[in-house]
Amino acid sequence: MDTPGTDFTCADPGYVERVRGSFERQTVMGTFGIALVDVAPGRVVLEMPHRADLTQQHGFLHAGVVSTALDSACGYAAFSLMPADAAVLTIEFKVNLVAPARGPVFRFEGTVIKPGRTITVVEGRAIERGDKGERLVATMTATVMTVLGRVGIHH
């Protein structure tokens, strides 16, 4: 059966550079201090430190900020498997928030569950690393589209 995040083949041998290049054009990644720490076939890992200016009313990272990092991790995990001339478009995602995002450091993992010619399904995990070790903070399931030969796509 399909084993998540393993044995995927990248159509484009230059997938690492392609993912890094697109990631660097996502201005919000720099604004939030999110770094791309790993790219593998069908899998991308991002990291960021806690940021007081990105918090909700109790001082935890806002769920939308966690979703920003998870969406990029998932989108680029799918993008790594796409042809060199494809654009990536997130159609939808669902996030479960399972613990307060305290930090001080967060890791965001995107792993392709099911690649497809048009539609790829990706799973995301947000994990915080603190005094007591690692803890799951949020999960994402994202549906990502491969867009070919269109000029004006949006993602």
Contact positions vs a second copy (CB under 8 A): 1-2, 22-23, 25-28, 31, 52-58, 60, 62-65, 67-72, 89-101, 113-114, 116, 118-119, 121, 123, 127, 133-136, 139, 141, 143, 145, 153-155
Q: 51: which strand partners?
A: none
Question: In one letter, which amino acid is 40?
Answer: A
Closest approach of a second copy to the CB of residue 88, in Å: 9
Closest approach of a second copy to the CB of residue 110, in Å: 13
Nearer to a second copy, 39 or 69 (CB): 69
Nearer to a second copy, 40 or 116 (CB): 116
Provide DSSP, 86-142.
-EEEEEEEEEEE-S----SEEEEEEEEEE--SSEEEEEEEEEEEETTEEEEEEEEEE
Nearer to a second copy, 10 or 88 (CB): 88
Closest approach of a second copy to the CB of residue 117, in Å: 10
Nearer to a second copy, 10 or 73 (CB): 73
**Tokens (6 digits) for 120:** 């790829």
Closest approach of a second copy to the CB of residue 77, in Å: 15
Range 58-64 contact pairs with CB under 8 angstroms and sequence separation of 24 or more? 58/100, 60/100, 60/101, 60/102, 61/101, 61/102, 61/103, 61/106, 63/95, 63/97, 63/101, 63/138
